[in-house]
Amino acid sequence: MRALEVFLLKSMTGCGSGRAEIATIQVAVELKAVNGRFLKVSVKAPPAYASLEGELEAVVRERLRRGSVTLAIYVTRTDLGPAAEVNAELAAAYKTAFERLGLPVHVVGLLPGVVVDRQQGKPSEVAADERRLVSEALGAALAELVRMREREGAALKTAIAAILARMVEVRAVVRARAPEVVKGYKARLEARLAELIGTGQAGVDPALLAREVAVFADRADITEELERLAAHFEHARELLAQGDDVGRRLDFLAQEMLREANTIGSKSADASLSQQVVELKAQVEQLKEQVANVE
């Protein structure tokens, strides 16, 4: 299964949970991920787990590439042993308050003063069986999170592919229209020169006309921009097919597409062509919004 993951586009958002238990201990792990430029992992766990934070973060980094991830660990013990005691009165007060506020009550045992460590408050080392439970629960939570990211990634892939297809259509319209802009300028120039000479039958210096048209054609030439756009579209499609860890590259391509669209717009003196450029830029903005969610 891991070998296939590199071909799947993933979103950066999602959640997952996992549980593992033995006779006296139950460990629950919850993961929540949102968009982020890089991968950032925040661990929220009981004090005794402080020494495991680096190890837990490393496990997450094996499966995820980008996003802001919160990892929360909840531990429930049915046999506290002689090293700890429960302040039942305080726990009941917390529970009542949480129920009134509509908050989850399973975290009450983690609140200050509920479980008192008799060993001068010093966190003990996490036992081997407890470490195993944490590892199992985290593995299950990660698997669920990755599955959700993949489902959302499939929807993103479809949306991005549709946007790219529309951009290809707009580029084709722009490419077909560009030569007509030069022809239209030549016709208007001929008419204007004839008008200035004062007679509709007067001849126009072919050399002068050719030079003016050539200058305009050079200034309005968008061939290079159109070719670069085509290359960006193809590269984006290749990244969609590749799927793994392509969010930053897709974002860069979207910025380059917008740059080319802006250049085309600055060179355009044609109303019809300008409308197509506006549509192209709108599609690029939609692309950027979708790509912002890609891992």
- Considering the domain architecture, whether residues 195 and 123 belong to the same structural domain is answered as no
Domain containing 263 — which CATH number? 1.20.140
Query: What is the rounded CA–CA span in Å between residue 285 and residue 291?
Result: 10
- Considering the domain architecture, whether residues 132 and 175 belong to the same structural domain is answered as no
Query: What is the rounded CA–CA span in Å between residue 59 and residue 52?
Result: 11
- Considering the domain architecture, whether residues 142 and 165 belong to the same structural domain is answered as no
Nearest alpha-carbon partner for 232 in 202, 254, 247, 200: 254
Query: What is the rounded CA–CA span in Å between residue 125 and residue 146?
Result: 30
**pTM of the predicted model, to two decimals?**
0.70
- Considering the domain architecture, whether residues 225 and 123 belong to the same structural domain is answered as no
pLDDT tens digit sequence for 78-117: 765 555 667 788 888 888 887 888 777 777 777 777 776 5
pLDDT tens digit sequence for 115-125: 765 544 444 45
| Number of domains, the chain | 2
Q: Which of 98, 125, 151 is the last residue of a domain?
A: 151
Residue 67 phi/psi, 5-degree rounding, is 120, 160
pLDDT at position 86 is 72
Strands (DSSP E) found in the chain: 14-21, 25-34, 39-44, 67-77, 84-86, 115-117
Domain that holds residue 265: 153-291
Planar angle of CA 261, 266, 269, nearest 5 degrees: 115
- Considering the domain architecture, whether residues 7 and 141 belong to the same structural domain is answered as yes
- Considering the domain architecture, whether residues 206 and 121 belong to the same structural domain is answered as no
- Considering the domain architecture, whether residues 8 and 25 belong to the same structural domain is answered as yes
pLDDT beneath 50: ranges in the chain: 1-6, 119-124, 201
pLDDT at position 240 is 92
pLDDT at position 118 is 52
- Considering the domain architecture, whether residues 187 and 93 belong to the same structural domain is answered as no
- Considering the domain architecture, whether residues 114 and 178 belong to the same structural domain is answered as no
Q: Which of 90, 121, 151 is the last residue of a domain?
A: 151
- Considering the domain architecture, whether residues 264 and 185 belong to the same structural domain is answered as yes
- Considering the domain architecture, whether residues 70 and 94 belong to the same structural domain is answered as yes
Q: Which of 121, 151, 181 is the last residue of a domain?
A: 151
- Considering the domain architecture, whether residues 268 and 134 belong to the same structural domain is answered as no
Is the Cα dihedral 217, 222, 224, 230 positive or negative? negative
Per the structure block, which two tokens stand in for 42? 């925040």
